[in-house]
Amino acid sequence: MDCAIVDMVIVKYIKLRGLGKRQRIPNLRRTKMEENKIYNKDCLEFMKTLSDNHFDLIITDPPYGIGVAKKGNVGGDNLGKAKDYGECKWDSEIPSEEIFKEMFRVSKNQIIFGGNYFVEYLKNSPCWIVWDKDNTGNFADCELVWTSFNTAVRKFKWRWNGMLQEKMNWKEKRFHPTQKPVPLMRWIIENYSAKEDKIFDPFAGSGSTLVACKQEGRNFVGCEINKEYCDIINKRLSQETLFD
């Protein structure tokens, strides 16, 4: 609900009940939204407090439900030993239909990684983004990113192959088993948003979307349910240098 509407409801309630100044005002849910910040919250609960179209754009990478890193090891291949991120359970299932409905309600446009895992919740779209990871290991060669835009399919190539990265002399630190490269997120932001847009990532992970927003000068908000990842995000956001 819009803040102005909440205010009107509170005033009406006070008048109707004849409440004095010292009496308790009912606890109507309302998020006092600070921007350029990560919220350590369940994104569904968070979104329920927002008005329609609050954000211009959602860019997000929800759990694909494929049980990545069940035993903690991700990315092992003939190029080296898999990195151990510790066991994680958040990828046991895809987000509920209610979460998708809320994402579409609170934002004007959406860019959703792993769209091929969520087709039951997504409309037909002419505009998918293909991220070519230049992979040779156990994982997919590309990732498919669904968008609500009406433009043509585009491809972005950025090597992200176990220990190998596009720029070996400028490697990004890995904090999360499904971390996305910041240059990929920057390319998306540059091509699919305007300077004044407000961007939301409800499944922030290690915060690559938010770091890219900061670097591209966009206002952003993120939600991440795991406190340890939130600490990493805050650290990444406060750093000048994000590379090894």
**Contact footprint for ligand SAM (CB under 6 A):** 42-44, 61, 63, 90, 176, 178-180, 202-203, 205-206, 208, 223-226, 229
User: For the chain, first and last CA: distance in Å?
Assistant: 43
- Tell me the residue nearest to ligand SAM as measured from the CB: 205
Which residues lie closer than 8 Å to 2 by C-beta, 6 or more apart? 51
Give the nearest distance from C-beta 208 to ligand SAM in angstroms: 3
Nearer to ligand SAM, 14 or 166 (CB): 166
For ligand SAM, the closer CB: 14 or 242: 242
Q: In angstroms, what is the C-alpha Rg of the chain? A: 20
> How far, in Å, CA of 33 to CA of 22, rounded?
26
Nearer to ligand SAM, 137 or 182 (CB): 182
Say which DSSP state 120 is in: G
4-36 in b/e form (b: 16+ CB < 10 A) is eeeeeeeeeeeeeeeeeeeeeeeeeebbeeeee
Beta carbon of residue 30, minimum distance to ligand SAM (angstroms, whole number): 19
Closest CB to ligand SAM among residues 25, 119:
119
CB of residue 12 to ligand SAM, shortest distance in Å: 33
Minimum CB separation of residue 126 from ligand SAM in Å reads 24
Strand-pairing partners, residue 110, are 58
* Half-sphere exposure for 20 (CA within 13 Å, toward CB): 2
Q: Which is nearer to ligand SAM, 176 or 198 (CB)?
A: 176
Q: Yes or no: say if 177 and 167 are a contact pair by the CB < 8 Å rule.
A: no
CB atoms within 10 A of CB 171: 13
Return the number of the residue (42 or 132) whose C-beta is nearest ligand SAM.
Answer: 42
